[in-house]
Structure 1
Amino acid sequence: MSQAPGSSRRGVAPWVPAALVLTLVGWGGNQFTPLMLLYRDALGLSSVTVNAVLGVYVVGLVPALLLGGPASDRLGRRPVTTWAVLTALLGSAIMAAGPLGLWLLFPGRFVTGVSVGLAMAAATSWVKELSAPPFDHAAPGAGARRSSVALTAGFGLGPVLTAAMAEWAPAPEVLPYLLHLVITLPGLLVLRGLPEPSLLSPRRAAPRSMAARSARSVRFLRVVAPAAPWVFGVNAVSFAVVPLVLSSAVGGHDLAYATLLIALTFGAGVAVQPLARRLDDRASARALLVALGVVVVGLGVTTLTAATANPWLGMVGSVVLGASYGINLVSGLQEVQRIAGPDDLGALTGVFYALGYVGFLIPTVLALLAGWFDHVTMLAALVVLAGVCLAVVARFSRTGLPGS
């Protein structure tokens, strides 16, 4: 090659545009969250209906993760990431038309889920590949941290700006989605010219099934899989369950409070990621164990929040849960990138994220069970479940280490 494949004529590292796309698509995926209370109050929707709209996002996201990962391994990262941007634009366009009928919210969220699933599977792998020689000479694990920060930034920035527009701008059910359309459209341009590391190396037999071969490894099944659902499960508890539980306690400031919890959750998730790097240990699952320990503490604080209806305690719980999210996401991706074979990185990344988003259904499940159990009981049950997952990961912490 006449120049390093990762060098840019403008001096921008090649991983940056791929990470930017993750931020833009993540923005679109989470901008609905602060509007849950607005839709509930303005349209007279039940909590079950609102959480169903939130949950249908996962119905689109999980198949996109499982299909998009292997597709990006076989076809390259660019085409799959491009489809992610296109479906993100379509999802926001449908959501902007939501005031024409409640039924539009369901396909809008479904398409948005597809966009996020494709981006997380393909662009995360792309950032990892572009963070390694000869494209970049960053420290090991930099790809996992960079994609994690980019995704978290989108997940946090989108809902904060959406909530601000809902509070002070006209047409809050429309304007946030139009803004996302405007800022995401250039994402199609930034992908042009980026190198495709997976296509530059000799082609290997691409996985033919939806699941990566590496997903059947002992370490993935016994160490990564038990921790994965808590990656996004804690976020769902923090900014989808807690605001509903405390809606009467915060008076007429429920939208502002929900937005604050989102900002605290993702702010803590970004701030703690340097710690996640230092916790990572190739000879154990130390980082995942710390992450799950923090999950147990955060869910315990959230259970006390529900018992006392204390908004201040809810804020503390969101910070703790956000910290667990940041550690869990980075350490989980680092484990995945060590486990994955040379031909199924995208596929295994998709499986990891798909398992992570199983936890995003927690608010929907709790809403369905609310007729039989109170929130204190249900959140306490989550504490116990997280403790069981912690025990499983601890038991197999040194099992199936790469290279062993």
Structure 2
Amino acid sequence: MNRTLPMPVAHALAAFIIGLGLFAAVTPSPLYQAYSTAWQFSPLTLTLVYATYAVGVLATLLLAGSISDRVGRRPVLLVALAGLMASTVLFVFASSVTSLFVARGLQGLATGAAISAAGAALLDLHPRRDPGSAGLSNAVASSAGIALGVLIASVLVQFGWLPLALPYLVQLALLLIAFAGVIWMPEPVTRERGIRWRVQTPRVPAAVRGPFLLAALTVISSWSLGGLFFSLGPALGAALLDSSSAVLSGLGIVALAASATLSQLVLRRTATWLGALVGSAALAVGVALIVVATAADSGAIFLVGSVVSGVGFGIGFLSGLRALVGAIPAEHRASVMSAYYTVAYLALSLPAVLAGLSVGPLGLERTFEVFGAVVVLVALATVVVAWRARPVPVALTGATTET
């Protein structure tokens, strides 16, 4: 009797785990206002809690992100999912700020292991080993995980029973499903014998560095905006939409992530260089609109800017990731994906932490204007790099090459 999942199901499971990692990352965001009210902590404390998560993710990616290339995807995923379940239980029973620090730190460590192994497994387990489709699955799962995580948590906080526990109980149920699936997942990696533990720092082979640069720039511009939204989005949404509702406060994040997901599905066949170019340009326009919204105190412009930014986020992130995934040698998948996610989570966390520290001296609106301008500059730089990566006609032969 065959006790392993069919390849299409296993591929979908890997995508589900990636989405679940982002789902878990954003679930606490709509709850922070309630935590702050209950335990009377400052915005600086909230920023430090988020920083603890980011440090955990980056520590795992930098020190052990490529280990699944040697020991296999399944063992790493099982340990990572167990860690995520343990952190979720800590969130359910959190009774102080200290509990949040411990839960967020453990969640970060587990997330780093989960996303690197699942990102590599996504291509290993694709029925046709198609890098383009695997990149699409990764990007859509990430954007959908963010959108659903914020939406479900916001609704449950606003209307649910036990609002500080119910979002995590939903998350725990999803993690249990993923854990059970990994038990039956086929192992695509031949485990090395006599493995000795050593630091597994990510490495990008020379042949992959061109696609890696484009992918890194697209993820820096898109995920840094995501970090700003996780840090400032609920407060900015509440101020511009003039509401204290958890659902309305999170509407900007949902609009960003939902439009990103839709753009990835609709524009998935766009050439990678063109998608990176158009996506980065749209991201710059969308962020500029949000900056205008903060100056004009306009909730409508804020939501339009969130949607436009989301379209740019989605297609830019997808195109850069597709260009990278198609160039990675099989034996370096986890290592390169760990390097990629290290860049991604630095982009997600560093602006969020710095923005959180800047709100006190600068104010909410001014902080977003300053950091939004930086995102626009990175997006415009990505437009230039994407243009240079376009297919170039070769003289006389009429052939084309891609850089």
| Alignment TM class, shorter chain as reference | 0.7 to 0.9
2:66 touches 2:334 (CA, 8 Å); kept in 1? yes
Alignment partner, residue 238 of structure 1: 229
How far 1:54 sits from its partner (Å)?
A: 2.2
2:316 paired with 1:325 = no
1:369–1:215 Cα change, 3 Å: farther
Among 188, 206, 225, the alignment partner of 2:179 is 188
1:392–1:111 Cα change, 3 Å: farther
2:30 touches 2:234 (CA, 8 Å); kept in 1? no
Letter in 1 for 2:358: L
C-alpha separation in 1, matches of 2:368 and 2:223:
20
Alignment partner, residue 251 of structure 2: 260
Note the alpha carbon deviations across 1:165-224, whole angstroms, 9 max, x for none.
Answer: 1111233222221232233223221112322223299xxxxx974122327854146423
Normalization by structure 1: what TM-score? 0.85
Paired residue secondary structure (1:231): helix
Aligned length: 387
2:356 paired with 1:397 = no
1:88 touches 1:116 (CA, 8 Å); kept in 2? yes
Structure 2 unaligned residues grouped into runs of 5+: 193-197, 393-399
2:140 paired with 1:145 = no
Letter in 1 for 2:270: L
CA RMSD of aligned residues (A): 3.1
1:1-400 alignment runs, 5 A limit: 7=6, 13-98=9-94, 100-131=95-126, 136-137=127-128, 140-199=131-190, 209-214=200-205, 217-220=208-211, 222-281=213-272, 285-361=273-349, 362-370=351-359, 371-372=361-362, 374-375=366-367, 377-390=369-382, 392-394=384-386, 396-397=388-389
C-alpha separation in 1, matches of 2:340 and 2:320:
8
C-alpha separation in 2, matches of 1:307 and 1:41:
28
Letter in 2 for 1:360: L
Letter in 2 for 1:196: E
C-alpha separation in 2, matches of 1:354 and 1:62:
6
Structure 1 unaligned residues grouped into runs of 5+: 202-206
1:375–1:21 Cα change, 3 Å: closer
C-alpha separation in 2, matches of 1:143 and 1:217:
17
How far 1:305 sits from its partner (Å)?
A: 1.6
1:333 touches 1:349 (CA, 8 Å); kept in 2? no
1:87–1:208 Cα change, 3 Å: closer
1:217–1:180 Cα change, 3 Å: closer
Paired residue secondary structure (1:340): coil
Moved >4 Å (runs of 4+): 398-404
Paired residue secondary structure (1:45): coil
C-alpha separation in 2, matches of 1:333 and 1:342:
16
How far 1:346 sits from its partner (Å)?
A: 1.0
Letter in 2 for 1:365: L
2:15 touches 2:137 (CA, 8 Å); kept in 1? yes
1:20–1:245 Cα change, 3 Å: closer
How far 1:372 sits from its partner (Å)?
A: 4.4
Alignment partner, residue 204 of structure 1: none
C-alpha separation in 2, matches of 1:32 and 1:180:
11
